[in-house]
Structure 1
Amino acid sequence: MPQQESRVKKSLLNARVNLIFYFLTLILSFFSRKIFLDTLGADFVGLTGTLQNLLGFLNLAELGIGSAIGYVLYKPLFEHDEGKINEIISVFGYLYRWIGFIILGAGIVLACFLPLIFPNTEFEMGVIFFAYFSFLASSLIGYFANYKQTLLGADQKNYVVTAYFQTANIIKVLIQMASAYYTGSYYLWVAIELTFGIIYSFILNWKINQVYPWLRSEVRQGKQLFKKYPEVMKYTKQLFVYKISWLIRFQSQNILIYFFSSLKMVAYYGNYSIIFDKLLFLSGNIFNSISASIGNLIAENNKEKIFQTYWELFSIRFIFTSIIAFSLYVSMPYFISFWLGPKYILTHTVFLLMVISLFFDQIRSITDQFLFGYGLFYDVWASILEAVVSISVSIVCGYCWGLEGVICGNISSNVFIAQIWKPIFLFRKGFNMKPKYYYTNLIIYVVLLCISLYISLYLINNILTSPNSLISFVFYVLICVAVFGFILISFLLLFTSGTRNIFRRIFNLKIFVR
């Protein structure tokens, strides 16, 4: 029982801290970007963004080792095996040190091409090189000094990382805003960026030593201990394919949208994507907080509890995603009209496909989290096929129908791999159950969703009038969401046990994970 309450408490604390800092950083970002653009200029903001993107590609050298180590830590953390945890963190430190050296070498090579990448710029090369190597140094700190923070994430204490990192980030941005406003110095802005990266590293490691006073990782022993944990490289190779697949799918989609539609349509699509991405980030902050708790639950190996928790989490995610998708469907055309003007509204078909794509992207996450908790990464062919299907369908349909066809690529790969294969894989290899249990329940959820949509849209179209002001728009959206949410939740409570169980937890103040 104490273990159960501990998981609940940590999950809620992770979600709460993530939400608080999400809204704080969201508000701050609007003000900071305005000041940076006005004082430092759009070119400098674009320069720093481009440099960080270039270094982001070098981080692919990480290969997914952090995720693999996180999974390997679940069982020893559950068993409180401090000796084994020290060994695994030592192996992690050894591997991350080598990755750090690889990124450093690649970064130095890439630096030689900076004059070719930025041939015509108003900035001195000294500013470009100073910014580049400062960002590179900040990135390397994570590999040489901050690698122990993975232990906090695996131990369901990611709120510690979030709290310290985001607090340091907020203070850093406030100081950068002041320096930009009063001095306009590029060098000072970059120097503050690097300084806070170093300060954060010292504070984080101090906190880790405080939380885990017994932690004695020895990077020098990592080479010998590495052979003791061959599963680390096995999972790393599998997770690397996942990362590459994800990168190919989402980066290629942006390129294909540009290729098969006009620049104007790309801009219109981008206006919608900004809102969608913010909501996806919010959703991730809420639900990703339970990933370590799921791993801890699976390490307990209570199959009945695991299966029941899966359907409880599926239910709450289904409700949340459905309400988000419905709110976007009824609000976005009006919001875009009030925000930018009626000419920026996309066609109904494009918009509907975007909402469907978002729905599938979100619904798959609970199954993915349980697959991760079980360490089921070896279906690498599925990740490759998902990328191939996404790109192939996007090219063929994009050629035929333009933007609508490109969006169909992500939907098709989601349906065939994430909604058909992944549940089969989880139920057979993880739950040791027949997949028919998943599809029987999924059909019930989808049918209830369709009925709820039909009733809600019928009532809204026949009772409410279209909003003609910002205030009426807010009330219109609130009423629509309330009507749909009430109808959907009522149906799910009547016909699905997962929803009933999760609402019992809510009323008993025990939600998310047993």
Structure 2
Amino acid sequence: METKSRTEYSAMNTTVAVISRMTAILMGFVTRVIFTHTLSENYVGINGLFTDILNVLSLTELGAGTAITYALYRPIAEGNIKKQQQLMKLYQTFYRGTAVCVGVLGLALIPFMDVLMKNRPEVEHLTFIYLLYLANSVLSYLLVYKRTLIEAHQMNYVVLIYQTGFLVLQDLLQIVVLLTTGNFILFLLMYLMCTVLSNVCISRKAEKLFPYLKEKEKERLPAEERTGLFRNIRAMMMHKLGTVVVNNTDNLLISAFVGVVSVGIYSNYYLLIGSVRQVLDQVFAGITASVGNLGATEDQGKIREIFETAFFIGQWLYGFAAICLYELLNPFVELAFGRQYLFERSVVMILCLNFFINGTRKAVLTFRDSMGLFWFDRYKALAEAALNLVLSILLVRQYQTLGVFIGTFLSTILTSVWVEPFVLYRRRLHLPVHRFYLRYLLYAVCVGAVWIVTDLVCGLAEGSPLTVLLIRLPLCVVLPNLLFFMAYGRTKEWKRVLERLRRIEWGRLHRGGM
């Protein structure tokens, strides 16, 4: 099998990932618009609620995926096929157990549906609809584990090509169903069918790329290696708990304290913000396996340089995106879905702040997970989860939907924003962490200043939602980036980015000349 350099793999993974996410956004948006205009607000609400319920149930996965992926990096770098077989056999066992646990716990929640929904919506066959969501989740766990080996070999672009193809097929089938029948159950069946087909095809592709996956490996991992792996899985379980509570309980709290209709309104914003986040996250997803290889083969100086460059890119991209989202979300939502689906500007502001804060964490998390440091900040995840629940429940009673998102913001600021880089700098980079905090503060001040200037200029736009959108869009694309370039154009981080781009282009031209 042909091998490439880390830079080439990262460039290919990132390029394919961004294209696939943009395709998914476009198709998902068209499907969502038709969905909201074809079905009632209640269906929009239960779609978001059931998705979050199953994300909470995904805690049973225990973080085994991240821990085992990290364990694969060194055997892959060393060409140790036997060790890869042993790890994948263990991974298969974990995911079969996860499928059973999700199925059992999901069925156990059915009697408590009225507790999870304030003013239960009048939707026919609600329990059967929930069972379809549950079946999709369970079947995914049974089939998905083999793709991890493809990703660990720095070939995530292969997985993305399959996923994007079936996602486009799914959206097209769902659009046809909505326009011809308006049947929500048939809509979900298309979702279920395409998910299963996608995972089956990826699984077969993995077996073709790595035929040793089909060989029976009877030997287990040595006891000391299993001990270390289970230690990392326990740590990732805590991280998974924190992530799920912070990111996937918002809809549950809004549903329980405010109402299912508000969940539907949030779902539209979540779709748009989440789509942008998924595109930008692919920049880091594309380099994850390469960072794992970097940690297994390179020295401290190289690792530090790559991290600082990745963090710089992250704060620029997510800062620019947060500003655009704040200025464009409301006119876009009003134009696409209707005025009844609008949030107040204060809610949009906190959503965009949460987007930016979590975006600036991506570089740190990529390096932490790829280098196996998740044990050292495991209690941070539990503290963040507890803070998020307590603060959100306290604030939702007075501030309704806004209170839920303020709780999420505060819990992240008080824990993850400072603990995660502390662990990375102390345990892997071996540098004083105050250097990172100062850099983070400077970046945040710069983003804040650019945000204020952009908002003042965009505030001059008046008229219909379409007019405001058309005026603000070019302003948001040009003005923040121009201001960022004026601030960062002479920094060493910007020069490193340019140098990386030149290397990628040179490599592409060189191969083309061959």
Instruction: Report if TM-score (shorter chain) is over 0.5.
Output: yes
Task: Give the distance between the partners of 2:394 and 2:43, measured in 1 at CA.
Answer: 39
What residue is the counterpart of 2:321 in the other structure?
324
Alpha-carbon contact 1:467-1:473 (below 8 Å) kept: no
What residue is the counterpart of 2:392 in the other structure?
394
Shift of 1:382: 0.8
Shift of 1:388: 2.3
Describe the shift of the 1:57–1:355 C-alpha distance in structure 2 as closer, same or farther (beyond 3 A). closer
| More displaced stretch, 194-203 vs 257-266 | 257-266
Aligned partner of 2:501 among 498, 506, 512: 506
**Partner SS state of residue 491, structure 1:** helix
After superposition, where does 1:413-424 map in structure 2 within 5 Å? 413-424=411-422
Task: Give the distance between the partners of 2:80 and 2:27, measured in 1 at CA.
Answer: 42
After superposition, where does 1:79-478 map in structure 2 within 5 Å? 79-103=78-102, 122-123=124-125, 128=128, 132=131, 139-175=137-173, 196=194, 199-218=197-216, 221-222=219-220, 228-257=225-254, 272-336=269-333, 338=335, 346-378=343-375, 379-398=377-396, 403-453=401-451, 460=457, 465-469=460-464, 470-471=466-467, 473-478=469-474
Shift of 1:504: 2.5
Alpha-carbon contact 1:149-1:208 (below 8 Å) kept: yes
TM-score (norm 2): 0.81
Alpha-carbon contact 2:48-2:264 (below 8 Å) kept: no
Describe the shift of the 1:456–1:297 C-alpha distance in structure 2 as closer, same or farther (beyond 3 A). same
What residue is the counterpart of 2:509 in the other structure?
none
What residue is the counterpart of 1:481 in the other structure?
477
Shift of 1:8: 2.0
Task: Give the distance between the partners of 2:146 and 2:200, measured in 1 at CA.
Answer: 12
What residue is the counterpart of 1:67 in the other structure?
66
Task: Give the distance between the partners of 1:36 and 1:450, measured in 2 at CA.
Answer: 36
Task: Give the distance between the partners of 2:113 and 2:341, measured in 1 at CA.
Answer: 37
Q: Deviations over 1:293-328 (max 9, x none)?
A: 221211113211110111111111111111112223
Q: Deviations over 1:26-74 (max 9, x none)?
A: 3333555677789999988988887766655544322111111111111
Shift of 1:99: 3.3
Shift of 1:235: 1.2
What residue is the counterpart of 1:28 in the other structure?
27
What residue is the counterpart of 2:487 in the other structure?
491
Task: Give the distance between the partners of 2:412 and 2:155, measured in 1 at CA.
Answer: 31
Describe the shift of the 1:383–1:281 C-alpha distance in structure 2 as closer, same or farther (beyond 3 A). same
Task: Give the distance between the partners of 1:195 and 1:457, measured in 2 at CA.
Answer: 44
The one-letter amino acid paired with 2:157 is Y
Describe the shift of the 1:48–1:225 C-alpha distance in structure 2 as closer, same or farther (beyond 3 A). farther
The one-letter amino acid paired with 1:79 is E
Task: Give the distance between the partners of 2:35 and 2:83, measured in 1 at CA.
Answer: 47
Alpha-carbon contact 1:87-1:217 (below 8 Å) kept: no
Q: Deviations over 1:373-425 (max 9, x none)?
A: 22111222111111222233334455565555443322222222222222111
| More displaced stretch, 32-41 vs 200-209 | 32-41
Alpha-carbon contact 2:395-2:403 (below 8 Å) kept: yes
Length, aligned pairs only? 500
Alpha-carbon contact 2:121-2:260 (below 8 Å) kept: no
Asked which structure has the greater CA Rg, the reply is: 1
Describe the shift of the 1:64–1:226 C-alpha distance in structure 2 as closer, same or farther (beyond 3 A). farther
Shift of 1:245: 1.4
Describe the shift of the 1:227–1:218 C-alpha distance in structure 2 as closer, same or farther (beyond 3 A). farther
Q: Kindly, what percent of the aligned residue pairs are identical?
A: 23
Shift of 1:80: 2.1
Task: Give the distance between the partners of 1:406 and 1:183, measured in 2 at CA.
Answer: 36
The one-letter amino acid paired with 1:297 is L
**Partner SS state of residue 211, structure 2:** coil
Task: Give the distance between the partners of 2:441 and 2:48, measured in 1 at CA.
Answer: 44
Task: Give the distance between the partners of 1:67 and 1:209, measured in 2 at CA.
Answer: 21
Task: Give the distance between the partners of 2:325 and 2:298, measured in 1 at CA.
Answer: 39
Describe the shift of the 1:279–1:182 C-alpha distance in structure 2 as closer, same or farther (beyond 3 A). closer
Alpha-carbon contact 1:141-1:201 (below 8 Å) kept: no
Q: Deviations over 1:487-512 (max 9, x none)?
A: 21221122x3222211222244369x
Task: Give the distance between the partners of 1:124 and 1:484, measured in 2 at CA.
Answer: 46
**Partner SS state of residue 434, structure 1:** coil
Alpha-carbon contact 2:41-2:264 (below 8 Å) kept: no
| More displaced stretch, 187-196 vs 201-210 | 187-196
Task: Give the distance between the partners of 1:401 and 1:148, measured in 2 at CA.
Answer: 45
What residue is the counterpart of 2:510 in the other structure?
none
Task: Give the distance between the partners of 1:395 and 1:142, measured in 2 at CA.
Answer: 32
Q: Deviations over 1:125-154 (max 9, x none)?
A: 9xx39x93x766654444444422111122
Task: Give the distance between the partners of 2:81 and 2:438, measured in 1 at CA.
Answer: 43
| More displaced stretch, 23-32 vs 379-388 | 23-32
The one-letter amino acid paired with 1:418 is S
| More displaced stretch, 399-408 vs 348-357 | 399-408
Q: Deviations over 1:440-473 (max 9, x none)?
A: 3223323433454455556x37xx8424252563
Describe the shift of the 1:243–1:476 C-alpha distance in structure 2 as closer, same or farther (beyond 3 A). same
Alpha-carbon contact 1:91-1:219 (below 8 Å) kept: no
What residue is the counterpart of 1:11 in the other structure?
10
Gaps of 5+ in 1: none
Shift of 1:435: 0.7
**Partner SS state of residue 489, structure 2:** helix
The one-letter amino acid paired with 1:97 is R
